[in-house]
Amino acid sequence: MAESSNLQLIAREILVSASHEELAMIVDNLFKRQDSHQYKTSRALYDFCVSSNPGCLTLKLLKLYQSSSNGVLRFRSIYQLSETLTDLRNRKLSLDSLYEIKGVLISCLTMEETKASEFKILRKIVSCVAYNVVDLHKDKWDELGDCILSLANSEPLKAFHVFIDLPRVYKEFIDKFLETILQRAENVLLSPVRVQDWSLALQIFVKMWIQLVDTGMKFKKIRALMAARLLSVVKSVIELVNEEEFLVQGLEDFERFFSREMNSYHYTKDQSHFVLASMIEIEGVVRGTETKEIVRKIKMLVTEPENPAIKPQDGLKYRRDEFESSWYDYLKSLSSLEVLKIFASTDLEDRSREIAIRRVNVLLSDHFSKKAPIDISEFRILQSLLISCLKEQGVSDSMFKVLGQVVNHVANEMFVYQYESWDDLRDYFASQSETEFQRAVYIFQCLTIPLIDDDFLNPVMENLCPVISTRLDPPTELLVDNSCWVLAFTGAFCAISHMIEDPGYAEYVKEIAHKMIDSVRKLVEREMEVGLVRRAFRDVETIVKKQLEWYGKLEYKFVKGLLWRLYAIKGMKWERSTIDDAAVTEALELHKIKNRQWAIFKTCAVKGQGLFKIILESFLHFNFVRSQNMNQPMNPNEESYKALIYDDLCEKIIAPLIQVNDLRKQGVTNLLVCKYNNHCTCHHQRW
């Protein structure tokens, strides 16, 4: 009880203090791990501030955003405020506090420092404050209308964001910017640069229609005013009709917006008229099945709002997704080094960190695709910071996988383009090979570049290879985490790829290759193929695809020889099944194909045995072509087709395990359902 009273007293002192330092510390702590002491204490203090004087807290958070030079703190302050005001939407703030809040909020909207990405958050704050002013206090906020007009003339997208979430407002307010914002939205709709902008412009038309209906304007007058806008929507869709992906993404974004609006406000038929009219017109011009399906769903939101097939948005999930989207948008304004420093903040909650490291990976990918070059001085700082991230305890597996891709990008720049080594990475492998084997070998296999620097490669091999060899001993149980064996297998494959050109490693290469084969043989004998070998070969396939560009004759011979020796393992031979080769050949009329090579690869869905041969087949096709013309590029016009043939029993087994998209990625172009009594017939299964 005494502790609670003490927290209340501290909360009041924070609210009346002229300084923002204590509030800034509380806001930062609210984004730390929820099990930390800092988070728990700050959460209690913040909640006391909310219950004590939400108006004063709102004002202080806006001033914190306005005055801080720390970009992360600015983002956190307005995001936390937007969440708080959303929860307090129906609670009246005092008129005195609202008077000051309105002025500071307008100032935040018009500041040069305010980023476009921050408007997605600020618009929620504007919506809540406007609702308090106009609906709860029956007052006016003409200054906001003037602000929207000014933004519409200078930065239309910002104006769109401010307007889109507004509650019902008065006619004089709308009249200030009505024609201007509609014209700007029409311009964006007819000449879109980004999908999000196109969707936002469509949302402006819809929201304006609803606002005009709410002002009491006659329906005929509204229809006359918006008729030209409806034609613009149709014209825009016609111009985009051959860009289905663009339309699908834009309409999906619009569907999320309108579904949320319908759930919140339950619009009438008159309010929803523009949406329905637009979708009817769009439906008449689009051709893609995905686009038509989304249009149908949007129409159902208007015509069948009570239909159980229309699932209301999960409020918690929506708010989480909105935070992640806003956080990613903010990170877009930062450099790779700035974002990596955020990721290195170990007290930050995991989801924010994962979004940060994914953003670093995108920035580095953009560097290599020449979209946004990064200076070499920044790469050198990234090197040391990455090593500290690799050694950090508690990094989740999903984050560590992305971290591996980031390390590969930096290594590629330093080794291949700058001809520099990375001693700290070499020392990381040396120090972590025993204690953190799985993570060390995972980072090693992420290096898809050729390691030709002996000063780097030799120490790494001396430390990693003995441990890899030991970990290749096959596990004895299936129902345990056997990822260590899989990593040892893929690590051994990568090690041989890097050592095979050096005659000094010849005996060791042979030894470790034989151990790989023996290990697989023992697993097959124990019928553990599907759980481990298939997984290992899937990972090896991914590695080979990334390494192929630098493979020479020796690397190719190694891959080919390894595959054939694995095929020769007893127990991995094709077993006789109900459907034999002759039956499939006859059913598919393969014998009539004279100008192409074809082959049948058998699998057993019941035991899982042989399923990885589907993956090996893609290797063998490549190997065959390369063996005919060593190291020459493949014919870009050459096509290959794969068909997965299964019966009713097999379908029941694989349907929950394999998705159509996964099969497409493996090059499977047809699904064929097999029906057989005395003979076999195959029927095409539609995707």
Q: 2-16 and 54-67 are packed helices; what angle lies between their axes, rounded to 10 degrees?
A: 50
Buried b / exposed e over 351-387, threshold 16 CB at 10 Å, is ebbbbbbbbbbbbbeebeeeeeebeeeebeebbeebb
The answer to whether residue 162 scores a pLDDT higher than 50 is: yes
In whole angstroms, give the CA distance from residue 528 to residue 523.
Answer: 5
Report d(CA 465, CA 463) in Å as an integer.
Answer: 6
As a three-state string, the secondary structure of 180-226 is HHHHHHHHHHHCCCCHHHHHHHHHHHHHHHHHHHHCCCCHHHHHHHH
pLDDT level of residue 636 (50, 70, 90 thresholds): very low
Q: Residue 668, Cβ neighbours under 10 Å: how many?
A: 16
Element at 125 (helix H, strand E)? helix 119-130
The owner of tokens 């980004």 is 194
pLDDT tens, residue by residue, 646-665 = 666 566 556 655 666 666 66
Long-range contacts of the stretch 393-398 (C-beta < 8 A, 24+): 394/346, 396/350, 396/354, 398/354
Kindly report the backbone phi and psi dihedral angles of residue 642, in degrees, each rounded to the nearest multiple of 5, phi listed first.
-130, 140
Element (H, E) at 541: helix 534-547
Instruction: State the pLDDT at residue 647.
Output: 64
Q: How many CB atoms lie within 10 A of CB 130?
A: 21
What is the average per-residue pLDDT within 426-431? Answer: 94
Instruction: Give the up-direction half-sphere exposure of residue 27: CA atoms within 13 A in the CB hemisphere.
Output: 29
**Lowest-confidence region among 18-32, 65-79, 137-151, 584-598:** 584-598
Confidence of residue 666 (pLDDT cuts 50, 70, 90): low
Rounded to 5 degrees, what angle do the CA atoms 681, 683, 687 make? 155
Question: Position of tokens 């560009």?
Answer: 549
Residue 664: predicted pLDDT: 67
Instruction: Dump pLDDT digits (tens) for 241-262.
Output: 889 999 999 999 999 999 988 8
Q: Which helix (H) or strand (E) holds 120?
A: helix 119-130
Distance between CA atoms of residues 388 and 342, nearest Å:
13
Calculate mean pLDDT across residues 37-58: 93
Selected residue with higher pLDDT from 534 and 311: 534
Over residues 462-510, the pLDDT tens digits come to 999 999 999 998 877 654 556 889 999 999 999 999 999 998 899 989 9
Asked whether the predicted pLDDT for residue 680 surpasses 80, the reply is: no
pLDDT of residue 212: 95
Phi and psi for 380 in degrees, rounded to 5?
Answer: -65, -35
pLDDT at 308: 65
DSSP class per residue in 388-454: HHHH-TT--HHHHHHHHHHHHHHHIIIIIIS----HHHHHHHHHHTTTTHHHHHHHHHH--S----H
Q: With cut-offs at 50, 70 and 90, classify the pLDDT of residue 265.
A: confident
**In sequence order, what are the residues at sequence separation of 6 or more whose Cβ sits closer than 8 angstroms to the Cβ of residue 262?**
272, 301, 305
**Alpha-carbon torsion 136, 141, 147, 152, what sign?**
positive
pLDDT digits 0-9 by tens, 57-90: 999 999 999 999 999 999 999 999 999 999 998 8
Q: How far apart are CA 283 and CA 237, in angstroms?
A: 10
Helix 54-67 and helix 37-52, axial crossing angle in degrees, nearest 10: 120
Which residue in the block uniquely carries the two structure tokens 């493996």?
666
Do the Cβ atoms of 121 and 105 come closer than 8 Å?
Answer: no
pLDDT of amino acid 620: 45
CA distances from residue 171 to 546, 568, 649 in whole angstroms, order as listed = 61, 81, 66
How many CA atoms, within 13 angstroms, populate the side-chain half-sphere of residue 252? 9
Q: In degrees, to the nearest 5, what angle opens at C-alpha 534 toward C-alphas 533 and 536?
A: 60
The pLDDT score that the predictor gives to residue 163 is 97
Asked whether the beta carbons of 348 and 342 are under 8 A apart, the reply is yes
Instruction: Identify the band that residue 594 occupies on the pLDDT scale cut at 50, 70 and 90.
Output: low
CA distance readout (Å), 385 to 373, 430, 635 = 20, 18, 43
pLDDT at 614 over 80: no
Tell me, what amino acid is at 617? E
Give dist(CA 400, CA 364) in Å, integer: 16
Answer whether 0.85 is exceeded by the pTM.
no
pLDDT band with cut points at 50, 70 and 90 for residue 567? confident
